[in-house]
Each structure stands twice: as C-alpha cells, then as structure tokens.
Amino acid sequence: MEQQKRYGHFDDQHREYVITDPQTPWPWINYLGNEDFFSLISNTAGGYSFYKDAKFRRITRYRYNNVPMDNGGRYFYIKDGDSVWNPGWKPCKTPLDFYECRHGMSYTRITGRKNGVEASVLFFVPLKKWAEVQKLTLKNESNEVKTLKLFSFEEWCLWNAATDMENFQRNFSTGEVEIEGSTIYHKTEYRERRNHYAFYHVNAEIQGFDTDRETFVGLYNEFADPQAVMEGKPRNSHAHGWSPIASHYIEITLQPGESKDFVFLLGYIENEQDEKFSAPQVINKQKAHALIAELDTTEKVDKAFAELCEYWDALLNIYKVKTGNDKLDRMVNIWNQYQCMVTFNFSRSASFFESGVGRGMGFRDSNQDLVGFVHQIPPRARQRIIDIASTQFPDGGCYHQYQPLTKRGNNDIGGGFNDDPCWLIFGTVAYIKETGDFSILDEMVPFDNQPGSEVTLFEHLKISMDHVIKNLGPHMLPLIGRADWNDCLNLNCFSWDPNESFQTTENVSEGTKAESLMIAGLFVVTGKDYVALCQKLSEYSDNSEYSDEAARMQQAVDAMIEAVKKHGWDGEWYLRAYDFYGRKIGSNECEEAKIFIESQGWCTMAEIGAEEGMVAKSLDSCKKYLECEHGMVLNNPAFTKYIYEYGEISSYPEGYKENAGIFCHNNPWVIIGECIAGRGNDAWSHYAKILPSYVEEKYQTLHKVEPYVNCQMVAGKDAYKPGEGKNSWLTGTAAWMWYTVSEFILGIKPDYDGIRIDPCLPETATDYTVQRKFREADYTITIHPNGSQKGVKTITLDGKPISGTVIPYSAGKHTVEVTM
Ligand code: GLC
Ligand code: GLC
C-alpha cells in the first residue's frame, strides 16, 4: 500500500485532532453538548443543533445527502474588499492562506486566514446551558487598517426535522421571527402548541440583519454566494413564512495588530404556558435575556470554556494508562472514552449517517453503550438502566427501541428481538460492579411504563433470563424471534415484497425452528453473571431465596452449554443458527456464509467446550476464515444472492454491512474470547487492526471517515474497496472497544468487592501503569508483564502481598504492583 495522503494529526497534549486540509475525504465531525443541548459540527462548520431529541426539537436545518456534501451549518462570511471567505473554507470555498480545525473534547475550533486577517471560531456548549457559543476572534495581522464586513448565518429548522423536509404546503406559510436589537428570535408555531423558541444573538451592535432566506441568498444563488454578502448589503428582511434564517451584519475596523472578539449565541428557551407572551403576539423574552446575560462577554465565555475543560479533565482522570505506546494511550485515555460518552448521549440518533429522524434509543444498544460510560458518570448510567427496564413487558420481552423525549417504547418497531432481555443483565451488572450500588436492584420499575405495574429491577432481571429459557427451540437453543443482535438475520420473515421492512415483518413464526447460537452464548455469559450476582446477594443478605435462584439459573446455564456442545458445533467452529425449517446456518455444509463471527465471539467468551478444544478451534477459524487486513468480517464467504429464508442479511452486496462487512462492533467479542483463552498475541493483533489510531497512520484516504473514532462498518474483503469505512461515531463498537481494552487487555476489571487484575497482553508488552479511580478509591496499578501473555503471579497492595487476583476495595489512595 503506498503512503496515503494525510488530512490531519493527533495533538495528544490538547486532546485534539487537528485537521489541516478542509477537503477531507468525508466531513469529519465532532459533537458539542453533554446533556440537553447538542450540536453536530463538521470540520467546515457544517451540521446542526437540537434540544434533547434530534427529531422533535431540531433547532437548525441540515440537508442530508446533499450536493455538494455537507451544506448548511453556522457560517461566518467575511467580506474584505472584493474577497469573501469563511474561516472554515465552506461554503464560499475561497482558497485560504491557512486553515485548521481542531476537534477537542466537546468543542471545536476552526481557524482561517486570508489576506492578513485571521478568523478563529471556538464552538462549544457550556455545561448546563441550552446554547451553543460561537466565539469569533478577528485579528488584523497585516500592516494596514482593515475594514471588514461580517455576516453571520444560521438557518432555522421548523422544529420537527421530519416534517421540515416534507410538508412544504404547510411549512412555507408558518415561519415567524422577531428581531430585537442584536437578537433574532425564531418563533414558528409558538402561537399555538409550542412553548419553546430559539434565538441567535451577538454581543455587539449590528448594522443590519436578515431573517428571510430568499432575500438574503437570492433566489438563484447559493450559500456560497449569498447576494446580501456579495454586495456587502444586508436587506434587513423580516421573514413571514418561507424559510426563516438568522444573519447579523457587522462593520468592523481593525488597526494593524488589533483583534476583536464577538460572542455569538444560539439559544433555546422553554416558557410556562401562562408566561408565553409579554404582549399579544410578542414572545416573553425574559429567559433569553437572562441566558444572554450569562454569556455576553469574552470573560464569561472563557470561564464557561474553562469549566468545560475541567469537566473533561475530571472525566478522563478516572482511567488513565501509560504504556509508552502513543497510539494505544491516546485511544484509551482520550478518544475511545470520548466516543463512549457520545454514543451514550446520542445512541444511534444523530450523526452524519443517522439523520436524527429515524429510530430512537435501542434496548440492546443502550445497555451496551452504558458499559463504556458507567465509570464516567454512574448516576446517569443508573437512570438509563431504569429507563430501559421500564420499556420491558411482563413476560420479559421488551420494546426494541424507545423515544428519548417520552421514554416510551416505540410501537412502530415493537418487540420480539429475543436477545434484547439478556442485555439488561449485562448493563446492570456492569453498573453494580462499578459502583457497589446494589440498591438499584430494589428500585420499583414498571412494565411498558404503565403506572401500577411496578416490580423491583431484580425481578426484571429474573424475567429477562426466564424469557430465554421459556423460548427454546427443538435443539433446546434460544428461539431467535424477529432477530438477535444481528438485526438483519431475519429468519421468521419471508419477504418477496420490496415495500416491506425486514425489521418489522414477521410473516411466520408459528411452528418456527429458528434458533440462535449467538443468543445461546450471550445467555451463558450473562447467565453466569446473573448467578454470580445472586450468590453475592445471598452472601450479603443471608437470604436463601437468592442461593436457590442462583442454583436454578446455574442449571439452565449448564443445560444451555450442553445444548451448544451437542447441537451448536460444526467441527471447526460454532454454528450460527438454525433456520425456520431447522436447517443449519453458518455451517461447512452451507454453500455460502459457512462461518459467522457472532457465535464465535459469544461462545468463546462463554468458554463453551473449552476443555474439548472448541474454543481454541473456533478462535483459529476466525483467524483463518474471517480475518483480513482491516479486521474480521462478519461472515464468510459473503452471500452473493438473496435468500428468502434469511432476510436482510443477504440483501446487501458482498462485503458491506451485515453481509461480510467488518462490522466492528463484533470484533471485540472475538478479541475478548482470545483474552479469556489467554492468547494475548492474537487478541492484540485483532485489536490493533480496528484501533482508529493505527488506521489513522496508514489509511486516511481509503478509510474516509473520521480517523479518531471507530465506525460501525469497514468494507470487508469481498467488497469493491476493502477498508473503506462508513457509519462513523454512533456504534456499539465504542463501548466494546473500551470494555475490551480496559478490562481484558490491560486487565483492570471492576468487581463486586474490588478490582480484579487479569491482563492479557502480547508478548512484546512492556511495563505499564493504570491510574484508576474506583468508587472512593484511587489506585495506581503497575503491571510487569515479563513477556507473559496471561496469568498474574503476584500482587502487592501498598507494599503488602495479597492472595488471589482481586484487590479488596477500600477508600483512599493505593499503590498496586503486579507481576505476571
Ligand atoms: C446496528 C444496531 C444494533 C445491531 C447491529 C447489527 O449497530 O444499532 O442494534 O445489533 O446493527 O445488526
Ligand atoms: C438496518 C441496518 C442495521 C441496523 C438496523 C437497525 O437494518 O442495516 O445495521 O442494525 O437497521 O434497525
């Protein structure tokens, strides 16, 4: 492979990725905001903002799949004589003398220079504020006086992002704004049922404005050459219907060497029903005024920014590693943890591949996401677990998705994905191990959000396990239902109708023999966790009910292990499933897709048949048949034709998505399998293949998407362009990469009574230190691998040897030395 063009590099000291060429192979984006107000921002300032829900509270407009790509965002136009340019290059695309975009932890700084003027914009959402700050610093670096004309630009979305792109017969008549001083208010639908409005403010006097898009841009012009800007003349337009925008116009004179700051603020406000208006038709702006007053000077903004940086310092101080390998350290210490926070916040809702109008939060997705996040802000993970469990049904099944704004289960998609219940165990156990907070199990949690139906969370866990046991097929393996983790393996959906959704069609299931080995493995892994939890509970409470429950579930787990060994083994690897008719899927007997990754991952993690050599054979088969230069593909060989009995999986062309793509999410399952088996060299080589920093070094052009985070899918070996990435940011890969490296490779595992030390490393690993805050304790753990891949020999805690591999928890600062 020849050396590929590079578009940027890591700056670890500032925890930034620095983009030095605006024409990246795809927009490289960042996320702003941490709790309520969120923005997506690309390296050319494209993107949009929303409050809590990307569908129902979209604040600014964005057009997906546009030509050219990534059009629409927060733009500053600088008119300097005849030249008009933007600090982020787009939309004018005037060549710049210098361009740089720094994506950092919840902030982005874009700097452009042209003809002796530097414009640098810092974008961030201050903690606990419902606003995006855009601090623009203009500096005259020339020897002449500069007279500049500055135009800001935002385009309002008419709140519901779906109807905004559809219902033009209504939309073109509803838009309303108010203008007051340097603030432009967007109040479409405020007169009726909306109790919210947005505003765009600048902390300077303006010499003009525009709020009507056509007037500002011109009917036959584009964002690249808005008429008002090109002519240097704002129109002071007032939008009535059509497309409301917000643009400030400011005339600026800068002496040589002089610089000026402007604080732009995009805010969101909610009013009480009886406080909506200050006069007929006039918005009550009190809260907007208050919010503006909190952020109307450079000093206030700098302080808010410093607070945001401290917030991230604290979060990233919880788990820190020093291995001496920069590529590993920067992913563990910065970007992997950052991506985990973003996926926790956004689930699969809004990215440059997820339009924000589609699905809500996934039951299984959210449970997995929180495992990557629970060490950062445990109370938020706790609340998430309760929210998720509240969408469960009394029989243990659950809604596949729920809406974040209402927290209600999503009826469009419904339930019947039979892996879903197990994930609740996975998430809850991770939370308790991190925090020691068993009280979450006593929380009263409803079914389907119905008041009066509450039972304890523990009861929810129990029925989750039972849901699997009560839905076994002819081989005593779990029935797959609509699909398991692989949403596209639709074994009970027989569809010849292109207008039917694979996800929601279940034509047949009566009499089905479709069983899943992936759920079998998942059940054994989470079943063992559940048994251990019950044992802990009985130990702590002296209540024999818990030990009985542990025994009951252990039996079910043992039975499942036997069923897998008997009916789930193909000779060299685990089968993937049985179809509706009871025929093998993922078997050497099959014509295509002879082996699948998911069951190899889960059954090796579950150590099913380890003594019989199944685990080692399965892992070897992954290397032999699934591994390629860019990671492990999902199945091999790829499907080349549509198989009616299998559904969506065979609808994808070879090498993409669930049909033999490298679906990064599941690579860590095999890597953990390798770690549990003690095969550190193999674990590491699989891991490094999909570790963004290693990909960054080699494949910026080919990989296409952001080199600082994982993407959901990389084109597999059967694809036209193996190695090309898609669907960046919002993927369970983030949490799984984190879980894998923090607990299984580096080997620092939270446990009920302390921290278990159990690394699995490549032979080449050298001494490393992990700084781990855990509950009220702060551990400095140094590991001496001594060339060993696995197996802890000795541990000393504060200088004294301890037996076993669990450092018993006690508050305070501790030093731990581990030799392998
Ligand atoms: C997507 C979905 C996830 C699913 C996976 C495989 O990542 O968010 O729920 O398990 O695809 O189909
Ligand atoms: C589509 C995607 C799959 C995703 C699913 C979620 O089928 O291909 O990756 O998991 O939608 O609904």
Question: pLDDT tens across 681-706, in order?
Answer: 999 999 999 999 999 999 999 999 99
Nearest CA to ligand 1 atom 8: 365
**Alpha-carbon gap, residue 259 to 148, rounded angstroms:** 12
Catalytic residue among 53, 487, 570, 682: 487
- Nearest atom (ligand 1) to Cα of 486: 12
Nearest CA to ligand 2 atom 5: 487
Is residue 146 pLDDT above 60, yes or no?
Answer: yes
Q: How confident is the model at residue 414 (pLDDT cuts 50, 70, 90)?
A: confident
Tokens of 759: 């690394």
Nearest CA to ligand 1 atom 7: 731
Average pLDDT of span 136-142:
98
Spacing, Cα 504 to ligand 2 middle (Å)? 11
Q: Give, in order, the Cα–Cα distances in Å from 459 to each of 378, 434, 464.
A: 22, 21, 8
The H or E element containing residue 306 is: helix 298-316
Average pLDDT of span 439-461:
97
Q: List the alpha helices (DSSP H) in 622-718.
A: 667-676, 680-690, 692-698, 700-703
Spacing, Cα 602 to ligand 1 middle (Å)? 16
Any idea which of 103-117, 499-513, 780-794 has the lowest mean pLDDT? 499-513
Q: Report percent pLDDT > 90 for the chain.
A: 94
Average pLDDT of span 485-514:
89
Burial class (CB in 10 A: 0-12, 13-18, 19+), 12: middle
Q: How confident is the model at residue 406 (pLDDT cuts 50, 70, 90)?
A: confident
Residue matched to tokens 């003690």: 678
Q: Which residues line ligand 1 (CB under 6 A)?
A: 348, 362, 364-365, 485-488, 658, 665, 712, 731-732
Nearest CA to ligand 2 atom 10: 487
pLDDT in tens, 364-376: 999 999 999 999 9
Average pLDDT of span 451-464:
98
Ligand 2 pocket member 486 (CB < 6 A): no
Ligand 2 pocket member 487 (CB < 6 A): yes
Among 341, 371, 359, CA closest to 33: 341
pLDDT value for 501: 87
Spacing, Cα 421 to ligand 2 middle (Å)? 19
Average pLDDT of span 214-231:
97
Q: Give the closest ligand to the alpha carbon of residue 729.
A: 1
Rounded to the nearest angstrom, the gap between the alpha carbon of residue 647 and the centroid of all alpha carbons in its chain is 27
pLDDT value for 408: 87
Mutating to test ligand 2, I would choose from 487, 649, 651 the residue with most ligand atoms within 8 A of its C-beta, which is 487
Spacing, Cα 390 to ligand 1 middle (Å)? 21
Does residue 352 contact residue 728 with C-beta atoms inside 8 Å?
yes
Is residue 207 pLDDT above 60, yes or no?
Answer: yes
Mutating to test ligand 2, I would choose from 354, 484, 486, 488 the residue with most ligand atoms within 8 A of its C-beta, which is 488
Q: Rounded to 5 degrees, what are φ and ψ at 109?
A: -125, 120
Ligand 2 pocket member 365 (CB < 6 A): no
Spacing, Cα 450 to ligand 2 middle (Å)? 29
Q: What count of other Cβ atoms lies within 10 Å of the Cβ of residue 20? A: 14
**Alpha-carbon gap, residue 122 to 136, rounded angstroms:** 7
776 contact partners, CB below 8 Å, separation of at least 6: 811, 812
pTM value > 0.95: yes
**778 in catalytic set:** no
Is residue 749 pLDDT above 70, yes or no?
Answer: yes
Q: Give the closest ligand to the alpha carbon of residue 733.
A: 1
Spacing, Cα 57 to ligand 1 middle (Å)? 25
Spacing, Cα 487 to ligand 1 middle (Å)? 6
- Nearest atom (ligand 1) to Cα of 731: 7
pLDDT value for 176: 98
Q: How confident is the model at residue 2 (pLDDT cuts 50, 70, 90)?
A: low
Among 715, 731, 734, CA closest to 723: 715
Q: What count of other Cβ atoms lies within 10 Å of the Cβ of residue 686? A: 25
Q: Report percent pLDDT > 70 for the chain.
A: 100
DSSP string of 481-537? BT-SSSTT--TT-----TTS-TTT-----TT---EEHHHHHHHHHHHHHHHHHHHHH
Burial class (CB in 10 A: 0-12, 13-18, 19+), 411: exposed
Is residue 720 pLDDT above 90, yes or no?
Answer: yes
Average pLDDT of span 434-454:
97
- Nearest atom (ligand 2) to Cα of 727: 9
Among 546, 382, 532, 519, CA closest to 459: 546
Is residue 292 pLDDT above 90, yes or no?
Answer: yes
